Amino acid sequence: MSRIDAKRQPVRAAIGAFVGTMIEWYDFYIYGTAAALVFGDVFFASQDPIMGILASLGTFAIGFVARPVGALLFGHFGDKVGRKKSLIITLLLMGAATVLIGLLPGYQSIGVSAAVLLVALRLVQGVAVGGEWGGAVLIAAEHAPPRWRTFLASAPQYGSPIGLILATLAFRTVSDLPQEDFLSWGWRVPFLLSGILIILAFIIRAGINESPELEERLKEQSVQNVIPAKEIFLTRKTSLALGMGLCLLGVAGFYFITTLMMTFTTTSLGISRSDMLELVSWVGVIELIAFPAGSYIATRFGERFLLVITSGAALLFAVPMMMLIITGDLTNIYIAILTATLFLAAHYAVMAPFLTRAFPVHLRYTGISLSSSLSGAIFSGLTPVIGVWLVHEFGVQWAPLASLFIFIAGVSFLCSIFLPVEDKESESFAARAAERA
């Protein structure tokens, strides 16, 4: 590799991580949107609409249950062989599953087999996402120079809001179709478009070099025979548990304010589907503002400082947020969800670079992937299901849903305080300047 190529690798790696993650999250979000709006009618037959929605959201949760499998599989492969190869495989798996969902016949055509095939493809999506996020974060972080590490390591996080915006726009385009057309073919269009995007991401990722930090570490005899998952469960259990809690606000909290709130507002408060899709697209815009702001604050004052402040703010905002939403006024709903998004997004952006420092390099892919995917498997996929159940049991009240969000934010708040980091890298420009002096 030439010197010029070496200088370009940090930016190229960040762009490759971002683009691939953007497409994978686009695929994941169109599934979540379809699960909230259409899958209950297309794939599940039930006389009770709430039961159809719960069944549909149950398949959404299954994708999270499959994530730890992907984390173990691709984490091991990524720690022992390389980040790049693992990331290309996860990208192709996700794209293939998404396109096939767009071609899947509904319940009226093949009966219960439609739901079975949907679940199988959702499991493939979950496995792919379980292996994607950790590798994308690491390929960006491990190419980055120390000064830009927080910013470049958060590059994959930008894939989430861009993917969300693209997914929401894709569904917004077809949501105004007549109901019959939307249910028969309109919802399929966003899934089929994924095939085009996958080709673009593959070309970009193919031009990324392997992580230099990992290549250097794999030369050491002491790590060649290590089984990453076994080592983590034997010696890093505390870091893994606290890492799971750290991820909770960014993953479960996000699905609370998007998937759950879309279902709740459209079915219980009478808000139109198109209005909520437009709001969710603004969630992506706010994330794009909060991400660089959060990264800057973390670089200036410390990653842990930013994580504690944002999770604490989300915790305090839980009750006002739900009291605003429960009014059913669209303006109040906008204020509530977009304000919560500011806290969640800033936390989510900095969560990635901070979590990479909780595990040594030869365990890092497996460690951060398991932290995120286990958090998602236990909490994220179930958050919309639990929320719908709470509404079904207690009616349209703010307190049960606020309590659910308090739990999510509270766990992340505590883990942001107590998660230890492995390396000695300073967390802020101020600290580094003091060291140089």
64 within 8 A of 376, measured Cβ to Cβ: yes
Query: How much is the pLDDT for 322?
Result: 95
Query: How much is the pLDDT for 432?
Result: 42
Q: What does the pLDDT look like over 99-116, one tens digit per residue?
A: 999 999 887 788 878 888
**161 vs 397, higher pLDDT:** 397
355 within 8 A of 246, measured Cβ to Cβ: yes
Structure tokens of 269?
């408060």
Task: Report the mean per-residue pLDDT for the chain.
Answer: 82
Over residues 311-323, the mean pLDDT reads: 96
For the cut 50, the answer to whether the pLDDT of residue 125 exceeds it is: yes
For the cut 80, the answer to whether the pLDDT of residue 375 exceeds it is: yes
Query: How much is the pLDDT for 8?
Result: 64
Query: How much is the pLDDT for 5?
Result: 56
Task: Reduce the DSSP state of residue 437 to 3 states and report it.
Answer: coil
For the cut 50, the answer to whether the pLDDT of residue 145 exceeds it is: yes
Q: What does the pLDDT look like over 90-101, one tens digit per residue?
A: 888 988 998 999
Burial of 435 (0-12, 13-18, 19+ CB in 10 A): exposed
Over residues 175-179, the mean pLDDT reads: 81
**292 vs 429, higher pLDDT:** 292
Q: What does the pLDDT look like over 178-233, one tens digit per residue?
A: 888 888 888 899 999 888 888 888 887 777 777 666 666 666 655 567 788 888 99
Count Cα neighbours of 8 within 13 Å in the Cβ-side half-sphere.
10
For the cut 90, the answer to whether the pLDDT of residue 305 exceeds it is: yes
Q: Is 78 left (phi over 0), alpha (psi -120 to 50) or beta?
A: alpha
Counting residues of the chain whose pLDDT is more than 90, the rounded percentage is 23
Q: What does the pLDDT look like over 270-291, one tens digit per residue?
A: 888 788 888 888 888 898 899 9
178: DSSP letter: -
Query: How much is the pLDDT for 409?
Result: 96
Task: Reduce the DSSP state of residue 130 to 3 states and report it.
Answer: helix
Instruction: Go through 122-153 and write b for each residue having 16 or more CB atoms within 10 A of its CB, e for each that does not.
Output: bbbbbbbbbbbbbbbbbbbbbbbeeeebbbbb
Burial of 278 (0-12, 13-18, 19+ CB in 10 A): middle
Query: How much is the pLDDT for 388?
Result: 87
DSSP letters of 189-233?
HHHHHHHHHHHHHHHHHTTPPPPHHHHHHHTSHHHHT--HHHHHH
**184 vs 61, higher pLDDT:** 184
**134 vs 242, higher pLDDT:** 242
Query: How much is the pLDDT for 140?
Result: 78
